[in-house]
Structure 1
């Protein structure tokens, strides 16, 4: 399939998702409490079969789901994405027993998943994490330390936790564990954030984990984390594109109706050119997201760099588009409950999570220099 076009069936599916999100998921989202897991919304995502598709679809389909949902209901998009982020390591690296126990519950929305990588002192520098996994003498470990900025915490039912099993080994000494939320010594607190989705901190006080809680191999957890992020980074870009498109659509509608200066706003060249710029950047970001996702699905080289480019361009673009939309709408867009007021709070976080924009630039540069070195070596 060409990287820069969608099949008619995909286009129709996206339209169906947007309609479902507006008519069925938006009312459930409105009934939820900001900053908390919306379990009825997750249940409905499960009934619609969208959560199960997290484990049966490729990267492009994941992007199409996230972009389509984001245009009509960012809460539904985020609920779906967080389930995927927390459970993908189980799907990709879990044992048959782990997969059998947890994945059906994630797919029907009855179990909430979370991806616990970041720490107070190890956000962008994921290899510097310090949560200690200390041997307990019986073949298991005790986890001691903290995690912070964890989406779905502290309300998740299980966490994919990354802990240091080999001190001083950097990225090579990290192991991924599946940790149920009811393990003794595991506690959490909610954090009040600008964006409305649930985020919290976790405290590990000698939390017991066993050999059969390991995801993948011991000391290979960093690869589990990066593999998950390589899949989800383009789809973070898709989330951003969906928000940008929603802001653009609202702006086109507003500027063609709003009367000002003996005409409508669209008749002012300064306004029309800003709207054109919004559309240009949104479409460019969309194409880069689709290209990165297609490269992932095809196993093409340079996926980390492509994924980083897609997330970087799309999230920075969405920030620009939403901000410009607010400016063109004026004070009405700042009123609590307005679509753009909601998007303005939502759009800021994606430039930080799953690797801040500066981290993405670092990944892109690293890939460029590595490619140049390889070519020179040949």
Structure 2
């Protein structure tokens, strides 16, 4: 007897094989333009950055019993994508300088169940990406990049999101290029692109149509049209974001208790956030105080914390990652918006300087 779910699955598969009356021309055009801009064979538009990460993991056939290594210094959405694939996230500590993943910890936590490494380019930074990619290649592991905050960043001249097997991006508002909500994936792997383009509902090498369950993560046509419009201004938006970051660094200057988190010489971040290390007492409280004073930042406004310390991750039995915890607690990441003006930058800088001085005097 055919079940309702089987009937619906067969119906969806047959519809997917039919010509789309709407043509999905905007999404298809966006994919072609993204592939060209990033210099890759395939781009796949989806409904969010989290959807991009989940889709990438499923495309790599990662699921129950598999482990994915990812930095403890990450946002919770990255972890959610791994658990949505029913794989186990394994948190890796930060390097000694707090930048990127500690390769020794990566190697120590690689087991026979490890299938992928998932570096996360927080604040547009690609710290240690090339070394992690080399290790993934030597260990025969997928490298899935969370480049949701890294449109336009590069490491050793290679664009973020194109170094690994698959790169995942967000089009949410606030990103360098956005359309309100959405995401996309980049890959040069023909088989993976064919598989997850329609979430296993179209034929792919070794995977006949509808041979696996999938999700509807398609990007809506109006949002795709908006993304296409904004993509035309990528170079201009990228230059503006970098100029804003440099300008804010200059305005904040050598404020005691704050040290600019300068990128490695071989890296070129996109300026997604101006980034400092906070060397004041109670750094998380300081970031929260800045948020109250109108300086939106990752820790104070969005409560970013190392993933192994997040309440939602405690059932995963995470190992302690002390360097990652300290790096996140001391991170001051101030992001910008397209509408941020010179006057806004002066206000932000004045507030940061004032609050740091007051905080330091209260020690």
The answer to whether the superposition gives a TM-score over 0.5 is no
RCO comparison, higher one (Cα < 8 Å, 6+):
2
- Taking structure 1 as the reference length, what is the TM-score of the superposition? 0.23
**Greater per-residue helix proportion:** 1
